[in-house]
Structure 1
Amino acid sequence: MPTLIAGVVAVIVLYSLLQMFRAANPAVLARAIRIVGGVVALAVAAFTGIRGELAVAVPLGIFGAGLLGWSPFGMSGFPNIGGLFGMGGQGSPGRASTVRSRYFEMTLDHDSGGLSGRIIAGPHVGHLLEEFDLPQLLQMIPELDADSVPLLESYLDRRFPAWRQNAQGDAAGRQSRPATSGKMTDEEAYQILGLKPGAGRDEIGRAHRALMKKLHPDQGGSTYLAARVNEAKEVLLRTHHN
């Protein structure tokens, strides 16, 4: 009997963990996996080092340190070690990208990959999107323009990864929207890439690569935001060429 009860409890716990994993924010989940993996690798490295197996302990320790974002030899000695785990030093600390539409202003933090939003038009102007739950945010969609819908959906993808499974008719709603806004300006392009006006081609390329890593599907990325980042890069490189 105790074995049966233990088995039932194990199944319930496993099911709960799978549900949490399924609904978790991919960016947060990826960071958690890196941290846990780094701690485990360092623990195993310490254990094997105590046993005198330095040939195994040293590389395993370096690997664990890399997962945690630290290199014993410094980033200058191994410039790509952070990039291998999505933590490369391409971006500047505190840098953020801003994407605007008629109704929203979204900010993507380059360090954490977090996406936050503010309403800049309509009945809820001045409020943060974090103040609303999923049903309230979905109720806003019918009143939005063609640029604001995918921007809100990008935010929902980050905050509620499984929301699309229960949403109905969003594709049909998008088809009835008016045409998107006009050509992106240089000012908008700089804001999207998180750069100051006058940034060089190398800076533009680095900012673009760093953002595309953050917008990868494994990081809870957004096709719409990725397209805006690509457009911003093309606009600024075209400006430099001219």
Structure 2
Amino acid sequence: MQFLLLGLAALVLALFSIGGFTRANPAALARQLRLAGGAVALGASALFLIRGAPGVAAVLGMIGSWLLGWNGTAPTWRRPQAPKTGQSSTVTTDHLEMELDHDSGAMGGRVLKGMFTGRNLDTLKPAEVALLWHDCRFIDPQSAQLLETYLDRVHPTWREDVSRGEREMRDHDGRMQPEQAYEILGLKPGATDEEVRRAHRDLMLKLHPDRGGSTYLAAQVNEAKDVLLNQR
């Protein structure tokens, strides 16, 4: 064992005495030292094995293999990388394609389905985004969650605004008021049943979800028709 230690010490001294050491690449030098140490350890392992000391030979063989990286566990040295900038993440759902800027936290996106298909979110009014959120709440929860996050950023009071609008639209029992029903159908108070049915039919042709319309608005139109016809 003493001969082994002396041999390793001599190897290190020899490497330090090589001309131009101070200009050497630290990573390359560390690798050379590791490889040289591994070779010496394997040589000593063979020597001890010949001399009838298999236990010491096995230990030195394992050390040599580790230094040479034969077992895949040799350590590696890497320069620390500077944090990357300008990165973004894209999420695609049934109704949306959203992008998040990692640096600024800004969100943007494009509508893939529904009455605003092809529109960028930043071109929609908060009320229109809220309408899209209404459509996604039950049929596409992932898109609804993304829209909630987007609205929280661009219009923090949107939840209160939506709640207030729904309260104003209905009476204390939660039913749609006739005045709101006329307004939804685009009719004046006192319109006949035939006018109500015609207005409902025309709006449903435009708003039906199967035609790229709004599920929420279609439901409101249906409710408005029922309110006015049932009050007769």
Q: Into which bin does the TM-score normalised by the smaller protein fall?
A: 0.3 to 0.5
Task: Compare CA radii of gyration and give the structure with the larger one.
Answer: 2
TM-score (norm 2): 0.32
